[in-house]
Amino acid sequence: MPTFLQSYDPYREVPMAEYPVPSATEQAEAVEACARAQQAWAIRPTGERVAMLDALEAVLVKNRKEWAECAAREMGKPLDQALAELDKCAWLCRYYRNHAEDMLAPETRLDNAEDGRAYVRYDPLGLVLAVMPWNYPFWQVFRCAVPAITSGNGLLLKHASNVPGCALACQEAFAGAGYPPGLFRTLLVGSDAVEDILKREEVQAASLTGSEPAGKAIAEAAGRVLKPCVLELGGSDPYIVLRDANVERSVQIAVKARMQNNGQSCIAAKRFIVEASVYDRFVDALVAELKNTRIGDPLEDGVDLGPLAKADFAEDLEQLVQKSIKAGASLRYRGATPPQKAFFGPVVLENVEPGMPAFDEEAFGPVFALIRADNPEHAVRLANKHRYGLGASLWTGDLDRAAVLAGQIQSGQVFVNRMVASDPRLPFGGVKRSGYGRELAREGMRAFTNAKTVAFAALDRS
Ligand code: NAP
């Protein structure tokens, strides 16, 4: 059980701050205060709750630079990407500001003389426990918290232990926007505290974005107390390039799709499945592009790739690469890196096959696993030969065929001639071991609501 959480800068290799973990009594008081705030919040008119999003957006805009720097320092993300992350949170607020009232409005389902009248209202559940990862330390929190709170819930944030500064900034955003005190509460606790919080009567649901093992732990804990949860877990997204694709464009986007966030994104392209007739062109162009990567200080302008969030992650990734080579993959390219332990230069592996860690596991860093496909059907079979099913990117000039193949790919989203991205307007989530439930769009707004049927008897006409 940790007694404090630490901010550590993986580029400068220095600790930045330590934060004490609250005692069990302090945690209980925070949960009780959140519950009191939620009870008053839930009965406020929907329009009032939705209107608060203007102030939340304004706070994000005002603090974007400071908070982006906090993310860049705590987990190594290049600053321009951290700024874009804060801007995306502001966009999310704007989107729900314009649409949430409609999404939460009661819906008439029956209204006739014979059946009477019935409607569905979307009521909040209570408190939601959000267990979040460090990789998008603002976006992951906001995409869960904004709909959960706007629909009338309170939110307890247990953020990843290595981003306590960002965790407190998220709380500051809601407090600074004028939300009721305690309604969004950050608890700086380790993962050992999660089950006890989830068991509490006030907590009615959980949302986890994180790894498959954490998903299993939370699903089990939620199952024991029969509470619903949304699980956004890992992925090993295929990036399928067919012979009729614009190969040059697919390569440019492949670099971004794999390297965004220093390669640490659930929906990063991870397995590059390329039809044989364009395979050599694709790989040659990919390696040429990677040679231009600027690797260095995430706070410096123009840096494409910073360090991984922790030095351990670089060691894990090295093992994945070495084991895959031992199993028959070949190393085609490796980018040179600065000396800090958390750096991992881009690696291109060829001849990757099912059964190798580079195919079967989630490579959480800039490893390009290249796989040759005989034809489009073979490419889809390879794409589906995985326990994960989060996103998929498909490159082809034949859009009719793309629509057919999109129906066959086992994933929560398929993006055609584009990299996979989350978007406030589109539901986001996975299938298979990538989790269940959906965030964002209408689905996310209703994720932590009770779709309550209210039915009135038909008027007695006798
Ligand atoms: P992680 O190690 O699973 O941690 C995620 C969160 O879960 C952290 O707050 C962590 O707390 C907590 N946690 C870990 N083990 C737990 C347990 N046994 N019981 C309760 N809580 C537990 O994942 P990460 O390294 O932060 O993030 C990377 C993973 O997240 C990748 O697999 C990535 O694909 C996935 N991810 C998925 C999505 C998506 O939308 N599907 C988005 C982003 C990331 P501590 O930090 O205190 O351990």
For the chain, give the mean pLDDT.
Answer: 98
pLDDT tens per residue, range 385-397: 999 999 999 999 9
Distance CA(325)–CA(351), nearest Å, equals 9
What is the share, in percent, of the chain residues with pLDDT greater than 90? 99
DSSP letter assigned to residue 245 = S
Mark whether 176 and 242 lie in a shared domain. no
Nearest by Cα to 165 from 264, 291, 19, 308: 19
C-alpha 308: how far from chain center: 17
Domain membership of residue 257 as a residue range = 237-416
Ligand 1 touching residue 431 (CB < 6 A): no
For the CA of 190, the nearest atom of ligand 1 = 47
| pLDDT tens string 33-88 | 999 999 999 999 999 999 999 999 999 999 999 999 999 999 999 999 999 999 99
What is the per-residue pLDDT across 162-177, written as a single tens digit (0 to 9) for each?
999 999 999 999 999 9
1 falls in which pLDDT band (50, 70, 90)? confident
Task: Tokens for 136, please give them.
Answer: 């998008």
What values do phi and psi take at 418, rounded to 5? -150, 155
Could you tell me if 219 and 249 lie in one domain?
Answer: no
Classify residue 356 by its DSSP letter: S
| 370 neighbors 352 (Cβ within 8 angstroms) | yes
Whether 28 is in a domain gets the answer: yes
Do 252 and 391 reside in the same domain of the chain?
A: yes
Same domain, 69 and 185: yes
Reported pTM:
0.98
Given a cut of 90, whether residue 461 has pLDDT beyond it is no
Tell me the CA–centroid distance for residue 160 and ligand 1, in Å.
Answer: 7
- Across the range 332-347, mean pLDDT stands at 97
**290-300 average pLDDT score:** 97
Measured by CA distance, the residue closest to atom 48 of ligand 1 is 191
Torsion sign over Cα 306, 309, 312, 317: negative
Q: Could you give the CA distance from residue 33 to residue 22 in angstroms, rounded to a whole number?
A: 15
- Is 289 catalytic? The answer is no
Q: How confident is the model at residue 380 (pLDDT cuts 50, 70, 90)?
A: very high
Q: Is residue 358 domain-shared with residue 213, that is, in the same domain?
A: no
- For ligand 1, atom 40, the nearest C-alpha belongs to 232
Looking up residue 121, the CATH number of its domain turns out to be 3.40.605.10
Ligand 1 pocket member 260 (CB < 6 A) = no
Asked if residue 420 has its Cβ within 6 Å of ligand 1, the reply is: no
Catalytic residue among 232, 275, 362, 439, which? Answer: 232
- pLDDT given for residue 323 in this prediction: 98
